[in-house]
Structure 1
């Protein structure tokens, strides 16, 4: 919702200031559909030409996330820490019993307590693959840690494809605005015999193309790309927390200490307090 409010505020201040300064919206509104068609059409066409279907689909999901906000809430971080605490306890008490949870997480009663996490393929895959590696190579903690680091780096790179694609579009929009403006000037020069007031309107309409390209780039698409990047990086912290907890476990720390390390590395605005996490873990134990 903040993104929508920011867009409305930008439109209000830009065009409101223009009108208060004595500008007339008639010229802008007359040229806007044609200039918008040229600039927007070229930008969308270039976007489609330069990206494959998965990236296009990913960008659409990013635009939806722009409105909905971050995927993971404070409750999800607390649930993740409780889940990891339960899994590490099972791993410590009986490595054989952990296999039924990591081999079939969709049927696991531990994962089933946290359906939002259970439905997230990336989180479940990361947890299960890492615990599986811990069982296979428990004497080589750094090897497992290195594999996990590479997995996280690849996931982050994939998550930022949409923001990169939008930023490329934003970078191209000012130049496309100039293209539309030049076409408008060409049209004006073909009507050089018209009266000055007519030529003035035609030149003004041509300049709308330059304005529109710059405005769309720096006032809309660029900020959207930056916001999406911020959202995806914030979302990435959720998966980074998995790394923190499981790496701590690799170094033979107690499960309570492992989840405390993870809690302290969670982003501040979604970080559960020590008491909140302790109470949630107690409730999990009571329900077991």
Structure 2
């Protein structure tokens, strides 16, 4: 929602200020200049990035309209899922997790949280961590180092679309200059003809520079920053899982392990201890104890 509001504020402020200073709005309508700038930047974007990043970039842009992937209730569900897993490990041993790890979709533990089951990367990350614990006989330091490496790779991939959009945004002023130079070339070609067109062509060339700068700093750059912030925010779920897994492997009981994970979350999405405890008690009561 803030993306839409911010976009409207930029448009209204820039065009409104221009019109209030007695500018003519139609003078800014230069479709050929816009074609040069937007088309050039789009082509450079395709040259610079693999198809995977191109697709993810458009997907992430649309995702900004939906808000963050994980909300407070999702983190309550995630912490509850981790608590259930750790309780099962503590009660029945590590080998009791094998069937749940191999087929999480048919697991009564995982399927109790249908919203999380839709997050395939997160569920895969959880099950991979559990496989290492069950079959790897790893100590906490080894697991932490391995998970840090995996999370670093995950964060780099998640932030790749934002980085690609930012680089494309940085190229917009340059393409604005290209459009302006071409406009000047057109102006110079008119010197021997109708001189009344000279001012019109110069204005069009200046609009090209204006559009390149506006698209970069008013839309492209902020959009890339918003995508980067969303990727970092969504990565908190994976950090939460890592902290809980390591705490559990170090011998803490399920509730304390989950509390470690809860503390790793940002304040605005972190469920309170009372809310989480009440949710867990309600879940245990619903399961018959």
Q: Is TM > 0.5 for Structure 1 vs Structure 2?
A: yes
Alpha-carbon distance between aligned partners in 2 of 1:115 and 1:75, rounded to the nearest angstrom: 12
Q: Structure 1 residues 67-76 or 192-201, which shifts more?
A: 192-201
- For the 8 Å contact 1:178–1:210, the answer to whether it is kept is yes
Instruction: Indicate the residue corresponding to 2:123 in structure 1.
Output: 124
> What SS does the aligned partner of 2:164 have?
helix
What whole-Å deviation, never above 9, does each CA across 1:184-216 have from its counterpart, x for those lacking one? 000000011356653122101111110001110
Aligned to 1:26: 26
Residues of 2 paired with 1:222 and 1:18: CA distance? Answer: 22
Quick check: 2:190–2:197 contact (8 Å CA) kept in 1? Answer: no
Q: Give the distance between the partners of 1:255 and 1:243, measured in 2 at CA.
A: 14
CA distance in 2, matches of 1:127, 1:41: 42
**1:240 paired residue number:** 239
Q: How many angstroms apart in 1 are the aligned matches of 2:122 and 2:131?
A: 14
The alpha carbon displacement at 1:39 in A equals: 0.7
Which residue of structure 2 lines up, in the alignment, with residue 96 of structure 1?
95
Is 2:56 the counterpart of 1:58?
A: yes
Aligned pair 1:12/2:45, yes or no?
A: no
Deviation at 1:22, TM superposition (A): 1.6
d(CA) in 2 for partners of 1:40 and 1:62? Answer: 19
Q: Which residue in 2 is equivalent to 1:252?
A: 251
Query: Do the aligned partners of 2:95 and 2:134 also contact (CA within 8 Å) in 1?
Result: no
Structure 1: gaps (5+ residues) = none
> Quick one: distance in 2 between partners of 1:145 and 1:44?
41
Residue in 1 aligned with 2:77?
A: 79
1:134–1:141 CA contact under 8 A, matched in 2 = no
> In structure 2, do the counterparts of structure 1 residues 143 and 235 end up closer, same or farther at CA, with 3 Å as the change threshold?
same
Separation (CA, whole Å) in 2 of partners of 1:54 and 1:2: 27
Pairwise CA distance, 1:287: 2.4
Deviation at 1:122, TM superposition (A): 1.4
| Alpha-carbon distance in 1 for matches of 2:191, 2:75 | 66
Does the aligned pair in 2 maintain the 1:188–1:202 contact within 8 Å? yes
> What is the SS of the residue equivalent to 1:111?
coil
Aligned-partner SS, 1:70 = coil
**2:39 matched residue in structure 1:** 41
Please give the residue correspondences for 1:144-155 in structure 2 after superposition, counting only pairs within 5 Å: 144-155=143-154
Separation (CA, whole Å) in 2 of partners of 1:175 and 1:36: 13
Instruction: Show CA shifts across 1:76-104 (max 9, x none).
Output: 00000000000001111222211111111
Aligned equivalent of 2:107: 108
CA RMSD of aligned residues (A): 1.2
Contact 1:87 1:110 in 2 (8 A): yes
| Residue of structure 2 in register with 1:133 after alignment | 132
SS of the residue aligned with 1:270?
coil
- TM normalised by structure 2 equals 0.96
